C-alpha cells in the first residue's frame, strides 16, 4: 500500500486534541483526519519526548512537533521510500523499456509480473528522474512586459459550418489575438487563411480593442512569414507593408516553439470548446457577431486563472489608453507580383496589361497593385504608375513605346495625318482621305505605304501626284505609285542623249606627245 504522508498541521491537531483529556483516540483521529493507529503513534512519540497532558498547548512548539514527526515517520536516508528502493533494483530493465517507448502503465504491468508492484506516481517520477522519460528540461515563466505593448496571434481550426453561398459545409478557421498583459481576447472567423484574411482579422481587432498594439507576435503563418528563421525571418511583402502602414512591429515566433506565444496557444482549444462547439450559426457573419459578444461577456468577464482579474476590465483600466490610434480608413490590401516584360513593352498584372517604359524587355520587375493604381518597380526604383484596370483591360502610355511604332500600336489616326501634312498639304489631305473609313485603322497600312513613297521618291513628286489624284478624287495609293513611276520613265526618255566617249584605260595629257626642239638647235 502506498505511504500517505500526514501533514504537520494534522500532527499538531492530534496532539492539541489529546491535551484536552476529554476525547478518546477514536474521536481525536476522526477530528484530525487520520487513522486511529496513526494518532496513537504520534501521541506515544510525543509522550516519549516529554509532552505532559496537564501542561497545556504551550508545549506544542515547532521543535517538539518536528521531533515527533521524525520519530514516527519511516526513515528515508536518501529522500525516497521503500518503493523507490525497489525500483532501483530494476533500473536497468526500466531504462531499456523506456528506450523502447513503452508507457509508464505498461512498465508497471511488467514490474508487477516480477512481483515488484509500486505506486504509478512513484514509477512516473522514477522514469523521469532516472531513466530519461518525459520532459527533461525545466522552464521559466517569461515576464508579460508592459501593458498595452504586445499582442499574440494564432490561427486555429474551429470546425465545420454550412456556407449558404456555396451550399456546402466548410471548415471555419479562427484568427485569435490575445493581449499579453490583460489576456483580453478577440476572435475573427473566416473560411480561409490567406494574407487578406489575416489583415481583415487584424483590422477588426484594432476596432475591437480601440487601438493598435505596437508589437505583434504571430505564428509562422505562410501569409505572414515567407521564410521562417529563428533570427531573421522573411516576411510577406503585403503584410510587411501593412505593418508599416499601421505602425506596429512584427516579432514572429519560432517554428514549433509554442512557448514563444503561450498566451494565445492555450486560447485556441478554449475558444473551440467554450464558444464554437455545440452552437448553430446561420452564417459566417452571424458567427462573427456572436464571437465578438462572447469575447466581451464570456471570455472577457471570467476570472483568469493566472492574473485573477477579468481580462476585459483589466484591459480597459490598464491597456486601452496606451495603444496607438485606431485606423480611421480601411486598409487597401495590395497585391505584389513579379511579372516579366514582354516583347511588346507590356507586363501582365492581375490579368490586365500595362506598358513599361525603357528597354526592359525580358527582365522581371516588381508590380504592386491595389484598388486604384498599379505601380511598377525595376531594381528598387519606381518606373511607372498606371490606373488599375479590370481583368482583360489595358493601359498604355504612348511615351513608353518606341516613337517609330507608337502611332501604329495605338492606332493614332490624328498623328498619322499630321505626319503626312509634315511632308506637304496634298500628302496630308490624301492621307486623311485614305483614312476616311468606318474602320480607319484598317487603312493605316495604305497610309504608311504613301509615307514610304515619300522616302523613296521624295516629297515633291509625291506631293504633285497626290494633288493631281485629289483633283479627280482618285483615292488609291497604288495609283499614286504608278503615277510617279510613269512620270519618272517619261523624264528619262525626254532627257538628251549623251555622247558615248570611250575613255582609255591609261589616258595621258596631249602635251606629253607634242614635238619640241632641244636646246641649242
pTM exceeds 0.85 for this model: no
241-271 residue pLDDT tens: 999 999 999 999 888 888 888 889 989 999 9
Burial class (CB in 10 A: 0-12, 13-18, 19+), 309: middle
Q: Tell me how far apart the alpha carbons of residues 84 and 119 are, in angstroms, rounded to a whole number.
A: 10
- 70-76-78 Cα angle (round to 5): 135
Q: Tell me how far apart the alpha carbons of residues 263 and 268 are, in angstroms, rounded to a whole number.
A: 10
Give the CA distances from residue 241 to residues 205, 245, 253, 327, 334, in Å, rounded to whole numbers and listed in that order.
18, 6, 19, 15, 9
Choose between 285 and 221: higher pLDDT.
285
User: What pLDDT does residue 407 have?
Assistant: 53
pLDDT exceeds cutoff 70 at 95:
yes
pLDDT exceeds cutoff 50 at 240:
yes
Residue indicated by cell numbers 498604355: 396
The proportion of the chain whose per-residue pLDDT surpasses 90, expressed as a percent, equals 41
pLDDT exceeds cutoff 50 at 1:
no
Three-state SS at 178: strand
Which residues contact residue 139 at a Cβ distance below 8 angstroms, ignoring those fewer than 6 apart? 259
Task: Give the bridge partners for 359, in sequence order.
Answer: none
Q: What average pLDDT score do residues 25-30 get? A: 87
User: What pLDDT does residue 448 have?
Assistant: 79
325-354 residue pLDDT tens: 999 999 999 999 999 999 888 999 999 999
User: What pLDDT does residue 143 have?
Assistant: 81
Range among 27-36, 260-269, 283-292, 477-486 with highest mean pLDDT value: 283-292
User: What pLDDT does residue 78 have?
Assistant: 64
User: What pLDDT does residue 74 have?
Assistant: 66
User: What pLDDT does residue 170 have?
Assistant: 95
480-504 residue pLDDT tens: 888 888 777 676 666 565 555 555 5
Q: Tell me how far apart the alpha carbons of residues 376 and 349 are, in angstroms, rounded to a whole number.
A: 10
User: What pLDDT does residue 422 have?
Assistant: 86
163-177 residue pLDDT tens: 988 999 999 999 999
386-422 residue pLDDT tens: 999 999 999 988 788 765 555 555 566 777 788 888 8
297-318 residue pLDDT tens: 999 999 998 889 999 999 999 9
Counting Cα atoms < 13 Å in the Cβ hemisphere of 271 gives: 35
Closest among 200, 204, 172 to 186, alpha carbons compared: 204
User: What pLDDT does residue 439 have?
Assistant: 73
pLDDT exceeds cutoff 80 at 281:
yes
User: What pLDDT does residue 489 have?
Assistant: 67
37-87 residue pLDDT tens: 888 988 899 889 888 888 888 888 888 888 888 888 766 666 677 888 889
Q: How confident is the model at residue 441 (pLDDT cuts 50, 70, 90)?
A: low
The proportion of the chain whose per-residue pLDDT surpasses 70, expressed as a percent, equals 89
User: What pLDDT does residue 272 have?
Assistant: 93
Q: What average pLDDT score do residues 184-194 get? A: 95
Closest among 399, 437, 395 to 417, alpha carbons compared: 437
User: What pLDDT does residue 2 have?
Assistant: 47
Contact by Cβ (8 Å): 28, 14: yes
Amino acid at each position: 500500500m502506498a505511504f500517505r504522508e500526514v501533514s504537520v498541521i494534522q500532527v499538531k491537531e492530534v496532539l492539541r486534541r489529546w491535551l484536552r483529556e476529554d476525547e478518546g483516540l477514536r474521536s481525536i483521529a476522526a477530528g484530525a483526519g487520520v487513522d486511529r493507529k496513526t494518532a496513537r503513534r504520534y501521541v506515544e512519540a510525543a509522550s516519549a519526548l516529554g509532552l505532559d497532558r496537564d501542561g497545556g498547548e504551550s508545549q506544542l512548539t515547532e521543535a517538539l512537533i518536528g521531533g515527533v514527526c521524525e520519530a514516527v515517520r519511516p526513515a528515508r536516508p536518501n529522500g525516497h521510500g521503500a518503493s523507490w528502493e525497489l525500483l532501483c533494483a530494476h533500473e536497468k530493465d526500466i531504462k531499456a523499456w523506456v528506450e523502447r517507448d513503452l508507457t509508464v502503465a505498461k512498465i508497471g504491468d511488467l514490474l508487477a509480473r516480477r512481483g515488484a508492484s509500486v505506486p504509478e506516481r512513484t514509477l512516473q517520477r522514477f522514469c523521469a528522474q532516472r531513466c530519461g522519460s518525459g520532459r527533461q528540461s525545466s522552464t521559466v515563466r517569461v515576464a508579460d512586459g508592459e501593458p498595452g505593448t504586445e499582442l499574440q496571434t494564432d490561427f486555429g481550426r474551429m470546425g465545420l459550418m454550412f456556407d449558404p453561398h456555396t451550399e456546402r459545409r466548410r471548415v471555419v478557421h479562427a484568427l485569435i489575438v490575445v493581449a499579453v498583459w490583460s489576456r483580453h481576447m478577440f476572435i475573427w472567423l473566416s473560411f480561409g487563411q490567406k494574407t487578406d484574411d489575416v489583415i481583415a482579422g487584424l483590422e477588426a481587432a484594432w476596432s475591437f480593442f480601440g487601438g493598435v498594439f505596437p508589437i505583434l507576435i504571430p505564428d509562422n503563418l505562410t501569409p505572414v512569414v515567407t521564410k521562417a528563421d529563428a533570427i531573421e525571418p522573411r516576411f510577406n511583402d503585403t503584410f510587411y507593408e501593412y505593418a508599416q502602414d499601421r505602425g506596429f512591429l512584427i516579432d514572429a515566433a519560432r517554428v514549433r516553439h509554442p512557448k514563444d506565444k503561450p498566451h494565445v496557444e492555450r486560447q485556441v482549444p478554449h475558444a473551440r470548446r467554450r464558444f464554437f462547439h455545440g452552437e448553430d450559426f446561420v452564417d459566417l457573419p452571424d458567427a462573427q457577431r456572436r464571437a465578438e459578444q462572447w469575447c466581451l461577456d464570456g471570455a472577457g468577464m471570467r476570472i483568469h486563472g493566472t492574473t485573477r482579474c477579468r481580462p476585459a476590465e483589466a484591459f480597459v483600466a490598464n491597456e486601452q489608453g496606451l495603444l496607438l490610434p485606431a485606423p480611421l480608413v480601411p486598409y487597401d490590401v495590395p497585391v505584389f507580383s513579379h511579372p516579366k516584360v514582354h516583347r511588346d513593352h507590356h507586363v501582365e498584372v492581375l490579368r490586365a496589361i500595362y506598358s513599361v517604359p525603357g528597354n526592359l524587355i525580358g527582365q522581371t520587375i516588381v508590380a504592386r497593385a491595389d484598388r486604384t493604381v498599379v505601380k511598377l518597380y525595376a531594381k528598387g526604383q519606381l518606373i511607372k504608375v498606371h490606373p488599375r484596370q479590370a481583368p482583360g483591360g489595358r493601359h498604355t502610355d504612348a511615351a513608353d513605346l518606341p516613337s517609330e511604332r507608337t502611332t501604329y500600336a495605338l492606332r493614332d489616326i490624328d498623328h498619322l495625318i499630321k505626319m503626312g501634312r509634315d511632308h506637304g498639304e496634298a500628302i496630308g489631305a490624301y492621307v486623311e482621305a485614305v483614312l476616311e473609313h468606318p474602320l480607319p485603322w484598317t487603312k493605316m497600312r495604305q497610309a504608311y505605304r504613301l509615307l514610304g513613297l515619300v522616302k523613296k521618291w521624295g516629297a515633291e513628286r509625291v506631293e504633285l501626284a497626290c494633288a493631281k489624284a485629289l483633283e479627280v478624287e482618285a483615292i488609291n495609293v497604288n495609283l499614286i505609285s504608278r503615277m510617279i513611276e510613269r512620270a519618272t520613265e517619261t523624264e528619262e526618255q525626254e532627257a538628251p542623249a549623251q555622247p558615248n566617249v570611250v575613255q582609255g584605260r591609261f589616258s595621258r595629257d596631249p602635251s606629253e606627245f607634242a614635238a619640241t626642239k632641244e636646246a641649242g638647235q
